[in-house]
Structure 1
Amino acid sequence: MTKLLDLDSILPPKKSVKFGGQEYPIVEMTVGLFVSIKQMEGKDLTNMSPVEQVTAYADLVRKVIPSVPDEVLEKLTVPQLQQIFTFAMEVIDEENEKAAGEGAK
């Protein structure tokens, strides 16, 4: 008898960000994305210039929402960029908490 671990069956619901009438899906947390986020959290943002801070946020948003074209990303205001990042991190935190809760069962 063959056993099958169906990882597709445990996918969380899709979440997205809407800007300019277009929806862009937020990707699931991957190992690479987790590492990138933790590296960003470890940086001392106060020692970064405003340009470096915005660039760092934009780079992470590109990883979290890779379907957003650069020309769209460049049209965002800094507060919009920060809101997207915050929203995406909340979504990822929810996924992690749910996965941790299921693992405890």
Structure 2
Amino acid sequence: MVKCNTMPEVRSEIDRIDRELVRLLAERQTYIEQAGAIKGERSAVRDEARIEDVVAKVLAEAERAGLSPAIAEPLWRLLIEKSIEHEFTVFDEKKKKIASA
């Protein structure tokens, strides 16, 4: 972590972190897409037990890292919901391709 003395320095560091977060989220998305291609049933896309497992792991890591659970939990729940929506899209596109083949 860099000690910042000015707002431009703070903003520069936030921008750097945002770029890295985007790269990591894009990587995460590739695994969501693989899941959508692998799952055999649309009903398997949403897995409540897995959602709660992911949130629990994130909250444990957030505590270790010093991230407020008030930020971590709602952020990851939104990320999970948007990931599920994307996975449904991938799943449905896969089914369309199979049906038209």
Same fold (TM over 0.5): no
Q: Which has the higher contact order (CA 8 A, sep 6+)?
A: 2
The alignment's TM-score, normalised by the length of structure 1, stands at 0.39
Q: What's the TM-score, normalizing by structure 2?
A: 0.40
